[in-house]
Every structure is written in structure tokens, then in C-alpha cells.
């Protein structure tokens, strides 16, 4: 009875000390923390690559505005004087290119560039949202496993303190204490490793969100709570889901641009006109003469009818349409793969939740109690703790796989937030 009471006192003391150490470290999950979807919304606002995508759209819109402008008129001036005489000539002319058949075709090409920039920006937002969800899941998974290992390490420390007291009292062999010491050191080392995983995952999450690295960041829900809040995946591919994916839309914009570029090349291979007007006066001795000129400049498509540009645009169009077909196939495969992973990950997590984790925890508790009562060996406790850690690590990996699979489903369906 004295031994059991002393063991209970040591368990309480070490548990309080462990609690104090845990509270001294900043918790990853806190009531006032950020939800994963709030981090997604923040990343879509402040991430540098999202800003770059916005600027890419502005670049395309500027090029479209430029394409809608016609060529500037050309003004020329000419002054001539006679050497050693009084004769002179002064002329001014204005040439206005008509830019026939070309403006609408240029604007059409630029329109497809804007469309592609929009699609690429949407693709960046979808990928960024998925990256935030995956990085947040990695943080929560590492934090969960850290908590599990820390609890086992605290129990190992309690056991070591109890055996140390028993050895000093002559009630236990030093070998048993040394075995407990080795196991405590091993679990403490594993705790340090998982703490490093948490810190590394948090740094990666801050980077993908655009959160300052030095500022603390806490999440609002644990891994289990975050998974419980996940949206249900679609039961099947919705009609038109492939067509609205940003990557497919970007590929289609490239194909449409190639067709528009071919049309522009054909237009540029036609004749073009320019209207010229001029005014000239001459001084011949005492006489002054005034002249007005009106003319037309014709750009004749004789040798250069844009044959090479047309052939290149045709080939580019064929290539782009093949890439559209490939993008559609890849999108369909991507959506099917994401759904398959989600279904499998859900089944695995349900198997763990169907009493497996609770049974492992009860088994560990029973083995520890049996050892406390002298009905088991320390090796039994150590072996059961390691089996429990392996099971918890596998369960954490299954939870992480489910959360990442659901994030992949959202990405495959083009969901941004």
C-alpha cells in the first residue's frame, strides 16, 4: 500500500510538472486560433504569387487596350532652298494609315490572352487554397503525434522516478531502473523530433499563407475537429466539372488564341491603304505658288503575304487543340484519382475509429496497472507502449491522409474557398 501511494504521488507530481512544461510552450491549437478556411481566405489576399497572378491579368488587359488602338498618323515637313538664288520650297504632309481588316483580329488575339491570364489566376488560387489546407493538415498531424508521444514520455518519466525511489529503498534492482531510464530518454528524444516536425510544418504553413515567419500562429481546431468540419465530397463528377477547371480553360484559351492568330495573319497578308494629304508652296523669284496634294498609299501583298505566320499559326492551333484534349483527360483522371483516395482514406479512418484506438489505449492502461501490482514485467509495459505509439502514429497518418485527400478533391473540382 505504501508503494502504491508513493507511486500515485509521483504520478501526480510528474503530471503536474509535465503540464507546466506544456503550458510554457505555445500551443498549436487554441480557442482563439485561425480556422483553416480563414487561412485560405488570407492566403488568397496576401500571398505574393496571388498578387503576381493579378498583375498578369493587368498585363494582358494593357496589351488588349494597346491592340485596340490604330496606328498613329505620320506628319512630315520639307524645306528646300536654291544655292545662290532666291527660289525655295516648303512642304507639309500628313499620312493616315487606315489599318484595314486588322484591328478586330488583333483585339481577338488579345482577348484570348486576357482569358488565359484569368484562368491562370484562378488556377493559382485553387492551388494556393489546396496548399494551405495540406500545410495546415501537416501542422495538426505533427501536433497530434507530439501530444501522444509527450504523454508516453511523461508516463515513462513517472515510472523512472518511481523505480529510482524503489532502488534507493532496496526494493528494486538497478537494472530495472536503468531500463526505465533508457525508455524515458528514448521517448524524450522522440518528443524532440516531433517538436521539430511541428515547427517545420508551421514555418511552411506561414510561408504559403503569407504570414510573417516571426509572428505566432495558432489554429482553432485539432486534426480530428478539422476533419469533422470537412465538406462532404461529391458523389460523382458533376456535369461540366472538367470544362470549368482553370487548367482546362487556360488550355482552351491558348487554342482559341492560335485560331485568332491565324485569322490575324491572314488579315495582315491582305493589302492595306493609307491616305496622304499635303500642302506646299514655292517661291520662284518674285512668284509664289501654292499646291495641295491628296493621295493614297497602297501596301501591296506581293512577295510577303504572311505565308510563314499563317503556317505557324495553323500548326500552333493543332498543337493547342491536342493539349486541350490532354488537359481534359488529365482532369478526368485527376478527379477520379482524388475521389478514389478520399474513399479509401475515409474507410481507413472509420476502421480506426471503430473501437481500435480505444482498445489500444485500454490495453496499455491494463498492462501498466498489472505491472504496478507486480503481475507483469517492465518489458511488457515498454512493448505495449511502443505498440501503442505505432498505432497512434498510423492513426495520425490515416487522419492526415484523409484531410489531404479531401483537399485534393476540392482542388480537383476547382474549389478556391
Least confident of 6-10, 64-68, 137-141, 182-186: 6-10
Closest Cα partner for 227 from 77, 405, 383, 72?
405
**pLDDT tens string 218-268:** 999 999 999 888 877 776 666 678 888 999 999 999 999 999 999 989 888
pLDDT, tens digit, for every residue of 115-126?
999 999 999 999
Residue indicated by cell numbers 491628296: 294
Instruction: State the Cα–Cα distance between residues 120 and 127, nearest whole angstrom.
Output: 10
Within 10 A of 112 (CB to CB), how many other CB atoms are there?
21
pLDDT at 366: 94
Instruction: Specify the range with the lowest mean pLDDT, choosing from 13-22, 53-62, 326-335, 371-380.
Output: 13-22
**174: which residues sit within 8 A by CB, 6+ positions away?**
167
Q: In whole angstroms, give the CA distance from residue 115 to residue 95.
A: 35
Question: Which residue reads 499563317 in cell numbers?
Answer: 310
Q: In this predicted model, which residue has the larger pLDDT, 285 or 177?
A: 177
Opening angle at CA 43, ends 39 and 49, nearest 5: 160
Nearest-angstrom CA–CA distance, 276 and 371: 106
The predicted model scores a pTM of: 0.81
pLDDT of 10 > 80? The answer is no
Rounded Cα gap, residues 179 and 72, in angstroms: 89
CB 310 within 8 A of CB 269: yes
Alpha helices in 284-377 (DSSP H): 307-351, 357-372
How many CA within 13 A on the CB side of residue 131? 19
Domains of the chain, with CATH numbers?
2-68+100-269+305-412 (1.20.1600.10)
C-alpha cell at 164: 529510482
3 state DSSP class of 211 = coil
- Whether pLDDT at 359 is above 80: yes
Residue 151 scores a pLDDT above 90: yes
Cα 86 from chain centre:
78
Distance of CA 123 to the CA centre of its chain: 9
Residue 394 C-alpha cell reads as 498510423
Report the alpha-carbon distance of residue 355 to residue 46 in Å, rounded: 43
Instruction: For residue range 52-90, list pLDDT tens digits in order.
Output: 999 999 999 999 999 999 999 999 999 998 887 888 899
Concatenate the DSSP letters of all residues of 362-416 into one string. HHHHHHHHHHHTTSS-HHHHHHHHHHHHHHHHHHHHHHHHHHHHHHHHHHHTT--
- Angstrom distance (rounded) from CA 392 to CA 359: 12
269, with CB counted inside 10 A (0-12, 13-18, 19+), is: middle
Identify the pLDDT of residue 25: 53
Amino acid at each position: 500500500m505504501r508503494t502504491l501511494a508513493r507511486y500515485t504521488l509521483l504520478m501526480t507530481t510528474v503530471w503536474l510538472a509535465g503540464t507546466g512544461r506544456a503550458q510554457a510552450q505555445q500551443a498549436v491549437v487554441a480557442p482563439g486560433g485561425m480556422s483553416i478556411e480563414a487561412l485560405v481566405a488570407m492566403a488568397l489576399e496576401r500571398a505574393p504569387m496571388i498578387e503576381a497572378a493579378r498583375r498578369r491579368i493587368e498585363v494582358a488587359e494593357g496589351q488588349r487596350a494597346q491592340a485596340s488602338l490604330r496606328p498613329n498618323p505620320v506628319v512630315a515637313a520639307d524645306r528646300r532652298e536654291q544655292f545662290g538664288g532666291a527660289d525655295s520650297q516648303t512642304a507639309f504632309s500628313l499620312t493616315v494609315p487606315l489599318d484595314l481588316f486588322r484591328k478586330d483580329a488583333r483585339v481577338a488575339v488579345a482577348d484570348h490572352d486576357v482569358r488565359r491570364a484569368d484562368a491562370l489566376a484562378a488556377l493559382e488560387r485553387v492551388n494556393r487554397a489546396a496548399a494551405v489546407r495540406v500545410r495546415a493538415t501537416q501542422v495538426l498531424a505533427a501536433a497530434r503525434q507530439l501530444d501522444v508521444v509527450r504523454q508516453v514520455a511523461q508516463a515513462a518519466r513517472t515510472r523512472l522516478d518511481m523505480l529510482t525511489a524503489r532502488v534507493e529503498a532496496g526494493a528494486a534492482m538497478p537494472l530495472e531502473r536503468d531500463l526505465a531510464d533508457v525508455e524515458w530518454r528514448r521517448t524524450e528524444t522522440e518528443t524532440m523530433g516531433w517538436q521539430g516536425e511541428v515547427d517545420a510544418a508551421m514555418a511552411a504553413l506561414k510561408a504559403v499563407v503569407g504570414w510573417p515567419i516571426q509572428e505566432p500562429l495558432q489554429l482553432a481546431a485539432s486534426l480530428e475537429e478539422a476533419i469533422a468540419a470537412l465538406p462532404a465530397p461529391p458523389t460523382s463528377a458533376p456535369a461540366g466539372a472538367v470544362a470549368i477547371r482553370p487548367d482546362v480553360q487556360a488550355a482552351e484559351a491558348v487554342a482559341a488564341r492560335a485560331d485568332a492568330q491565324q485569322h490575324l495573319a491572314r488579315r495582315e497578308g491582305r493589302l492595306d491603304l493609307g491616305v496622304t494629304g499635303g500642302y506646299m508652296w514655292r517661291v520662284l523669284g518674285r512668284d509664289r505658288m501654292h499646291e495641295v496634294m491628296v493621295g493614297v498609299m497602297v501596301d501591296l501583298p506581293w512577295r510577303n503575304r504572311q505565308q510563314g505566320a499563317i503556317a505557324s499559326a495553323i500548326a500552333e492551333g493543332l498543337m493547342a487543340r491536342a493539349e486541350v484534349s490532354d488537359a481534359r483527360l488529365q482532369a478526368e483522371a485527376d478527379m477520379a484519382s482524388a475521389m478514389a483516395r478520399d474513399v479509401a482514406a475515409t474507410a481507413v479512418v472509420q476502421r480506426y475509429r471503430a473501437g481500435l484506438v480505444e482498445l489500444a489505449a485500454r490495453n496499455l492502461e491494463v498492462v501498466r496497472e498489472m505491472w504496478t501490482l507486480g503481475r507483469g514485467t517492465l518489458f511488457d509495459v515498454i512493448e505495449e507502449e511502443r505498440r501503442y505509439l505505432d498505432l497512434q502514429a498510423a492513426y495520425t497518418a490515416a487522419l492526415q491522409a484523409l484531410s489531404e485527400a479531401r483537399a485534393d478533391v476540392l482542388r480537383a473540382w476547382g474549389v478556391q474557398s
